[in-house]
Amino acid sequence: MFAKCFVSFLVFFAIVSSVFTIGDEDIRCTAKSCKDAVCDEVPDKCKSNETNAGVYLLSPDICNCCKYCLVNLVEGEPCSVGDPSNGKHKSICGPGLMCNVEKDGETDGTCQKMNSPCASAQQIYDNKRELGYLGSMEARPSCDDDGFYSAYRCIPGQNCFCQLPNGTRIFGDANYNTITDYMTCGCSTAYHAAIEILGRELHPHEHFRCAADGSFDRLQCIHEKCLCVDSLDGAPTFPNNPLVDIKLITNETLKCYSSNNTGEYYKKCEKEYMEIHKEVENKKSKHSYSLVLGYSYPNCDMDGTFAAVQENKTHKYCVDKEGSILTEPLEKTASTAAMKSLLANMNCKCARAKLIMSTTEKPLCLKNGNYDSIQCRRGICRCVDENGNQKCSTDDKKCEEVDESQKSKLKCT
């Protein structure tokens, strides 16, 4: 039986409540505990339909009996960072703001914009827009309420991809023209949180499988047992239903199962991976080996398909999700500095992005499937980074762009 404690990547937490008694008196919080509670009135602003009016929290009273809401303050309003001697606070700086005090040790200040990398990037963008320095394909960074980078970033007219709170790109992408509001990247983000804790990459059977856009795949099988989950947070869709053996999954035993064939869960790449993994583990167990050499695993993505970059003993190349080759394989024995650089830096992001874009103007890719550092759209050429984002050499003058006929004059580093 499952409850909300079934969360993300094989991390199952059982919340066990201990019963403490004094004599025959039960001192746990029960429904009766709040019977005589006297509660303060919730601020009117919290009751309104105003966006970001306030945030509801557990009341800092015994048994959390009362409704408790902190009113969101706006930029410039007085605030307090708190003090052990203070009573219950009634307000907090709103999204993207922090309580800034003038001197260390002081508790009172004013709400000011957060000084985080994302907030700073937004400020740079706003300044450039005001001065007319923006490039034609620059997009304003999106930050969450805590000042971190939002779950995904978009390149106008091309694609959107998942990113960590620090702005680092991770697995999960989608066509720019799809509804990105549904792109939460929850599965991809949870995976990276898990490997940060464990200190290693995870095998396909050790983590929840993601969908191509970084959300949770609605069908999950862990240790040969399967269930349906919510695509946003990975919680069981039907928590009271029993798990289904992987060999017995059908669209009748699990409503989220889409195949017409019984028992098909693993995708091509992860199936190859799991077959090799089982063989290696069997040899370890049979012969008491701590390490088995001579096996080569396919490089799989978090959605069970083939990762963009693949290689064998002699070549390195880009593939689509089914493993079909997208670029001309590059020989690992390349002798020139240019070819060695192409091999070392291969990420295939451009080759993969072209597959999901619906726009007729596709990006220009290098031989290794990476973005060419110069990209042109609608007759205007610009510099880009490894993800295809427009890149400017400096923020205090207009971003470098040239007419396509002058492309050779554009110097990108």
Domain extents in the chain? 37-113, 308-370
CA distances, 74 to each of 52, 77, 113, 348, 387 (Å):
10, 6, 10, 44, 35
**What's the pLDDT at 181?**
66
Dihedral of the alpha carbons of 267, 367, 377, 306, in degrees to the nearest 10? 10
Full pLDDT tens readout for the chain, 413 residues: 333 333 444 333 333 333 333 444 556 788 788 888 889 899 999 988 777 889 999 888 889 899 999 999 999 999 998 877 777 888 999 998 999 998 888 889 999 989 899 999 999 999 999 999 999 999 999 999 889 999 999 998 899 999 999 999 999 999 998 765 678 999 999 999 999 999 998 888 888 999 999 999 999 998 889 999 999 999 999 999 999 999 999 999 999 998 888 889 999 999 999 999 999 999 988 888 888 888 889 999 999 999 999 999 999 999 999 999 999 999 999 889 999 999 999 999 999 999 999 888 999 999 999 999 999 999 999 999 999 999 999 898 999 999 999 999 999 98
Calculate Rg over the CA atoms of the chain: 27
**What's the pLDDT at 187?**
97
**What's the pLDDT at 37?**
87
